[in-house]
Structure 1
């Protein structure tokens, strides 16, 4: 039986985490939930979490409807994925499911996402990673967690059959029927759903501001396809090698 770790960056109490774990259990997989004890959004692939004594503290949690081992961990999601690969929660996972995140993770801004960071860390340590996010916007009336979880369910067997190191990024519109909509392959937009700029400079400080993207988007990008109502899937990679630029001499 394939072993799965379900984690996130919104924390152990997130309903998106619980929905994702529930579909993995229904698929007959060996599931463990281990998620940050507190909000860890924007943590990227950070491995912060060790206390002063060098240990990573965790405590068992009971989550309604999930009759599986669940842990609240004082660590960033990427660190949770890392220690899971070394048997911290039982069998090393074959797949790390990360999400369902509250908000889309699209474009090159996924570099900063703790949700994506956990999936990339899984891939770097011999497992597969699937990051799952729900495009809820800034102030949603309802979050359709089940729709995102259903979209992930459809991918589980294929991801488990994929080569170790495979990492996929799934974004789902916030609609009740989004889990049954056709999935579209997407490129990464130049930015995410918002763009950050330094708006003010003062002595000893810089104030940042965020604004919606303007201008036309590449119709093949995750940003454009998600706005059009399509669930999007992008195969991504972490750190790798490339040839040095011309003009730099190396042996």
Structure 2
């Protein structure tokens, strides 16, 4: 990555262009020395994972120039599409030059456990990896009801350190940073974390009768099982910001060999 030019960062999120967490993250990445461009969904797009859905008409997907508060000199756009679509478009001719790193967040709410699969914040970072870029997802553990004044600084204080860790790795590396919603001075040490088995809550869906087809009603239930001590959920609860490396979708070779071996063992047991 040695070059006379500054690395370029695309800042996006799934909470939408009007999220103060996005603005705080863009400022932190710029202050860390990277060239910054902001492009985020025009409306909240939480929970869309790596969807590349966009709002299309005869003229394509609309892009609206915006000004990020406090960053008047930073190019910014509200895009009528999901965060992964924005990242995908950036690598297919929209942004020139294309970014070197995608930084996604700061998400209102932690992205923890294997349920990060469903996160639009994480989906954007993983899509960056598919383009051969670095990806960083940043989330603040605000709970299910966000506070009036989230501690964005708890996350932005760690951005320079985590960017250094990320950029020391190979391009395509994706990291997920979660921080407690506390004063930056109250943070405990940054810890590497395993993904919990699922997440910090379980979604339960009930089918209720009503109209001709009924209605699906979702609700949240706390997990009853204690998370492992080295999991992201447990470490966050103990006051630690957590860092986890994520892998994008990849194939696992040898499936036919495993099937043959399994059939052989089954035949031996029945003989």
Alignment TM-score, normalising by the size of structure 1? 0.93
Distance across 1 between alignment mates of 2:116 and 2:59: 29
Structure with bigger helix share is 2
User: Unpaired segments of 5 or more residues in structure 1?
Assistant: none
Distance across 1 between alignment mates of 2:79 and 2:200: 29
Q: Assess if the C-alpha contact under 8 Å between 2:12 and 2:38 holds in 1.
A: yes
Cross-structure match for 1:25: 30
Structure 1 residue 244 corresponds to structure 2 residue 255: yes
CA RMSD of aligned residues (A): 1.8
**Of the candidates 67, 75, 78, which is equivalent to residue 69 of structure 1?**
75
**3-state SS of 2:136 partner:** strand
1:194-205 aligned at under 5 Å gives the runs 194-200=201-207, 202=209, 203-205=213-215
Aligned-pair CA distance for 1:199: 3.3
Q: Assess if the C-alpha contact under 8 Å between 2:105 and 2:121 holds in 1.
A: yes
**Of the candidates 147, 150, 159, which is equivalent to residue 143 of structure 1?**
150
Aligned-pair CA distance for 1:189: 0.6
* Consecutive aligned runs of 4 or more in structure 1 exceeding 6 Å deviation: none
Distance across 2 between alignment mates of 1:109 and 1:71: 29
**Of the candidates 147, 161, 165, which is equivalent to residue 172 of structure 2?**
165
Distance across 2 between alignment mates of 1:126 and 1:216: 37
Cross-structure match for 1:2: 7
Distance across 1 between alignment mates of 2:244 and 2:170: 16
Aligned-pair CA distance for 1:179: 8.1
Structure label with greater radius of gyration: 2
The Cα offsets for residues 131-173 of structure 1, whole Å up to 9 and x where unpaired, read as: 0000011232530012111112221123123211100111000
Q: Assess if the C-alpha contact under 8 Å between 2:187 and 2:240 holds in 1.
A: no
**3-state SS of 1:123 partner:** helix
Distance across 2 between alignment mates of 1:141 and 1:204: 36
**3-state SS of 1:97 partner:** strand
Of 116-125 and 233-242, more deviation after overlay is shown by: 233-242
Q: Assess if the C-alpha contact under 8 Å between 2:157 and 2:184 holds in 1.
A: no
Distance across 2 between alignment mates of 1:87 and 1:219: 44
Of 80-89 and 58-67, more deviation after overlay is shown by: 80-89
**3-state SS of 2:167 partner:** helix
How many pairs are equivalent? 249
Cα 1:90/1:125, change in 2 over 3 Å: same
**3-state SS of 1:39 partner:** coil
Of 240-249 and 78-87, more deviation after overlay is shown by: 240-249
**Of the candidates 221, 231, 236, which is equivalent to residue 221 of structure 1?**
231
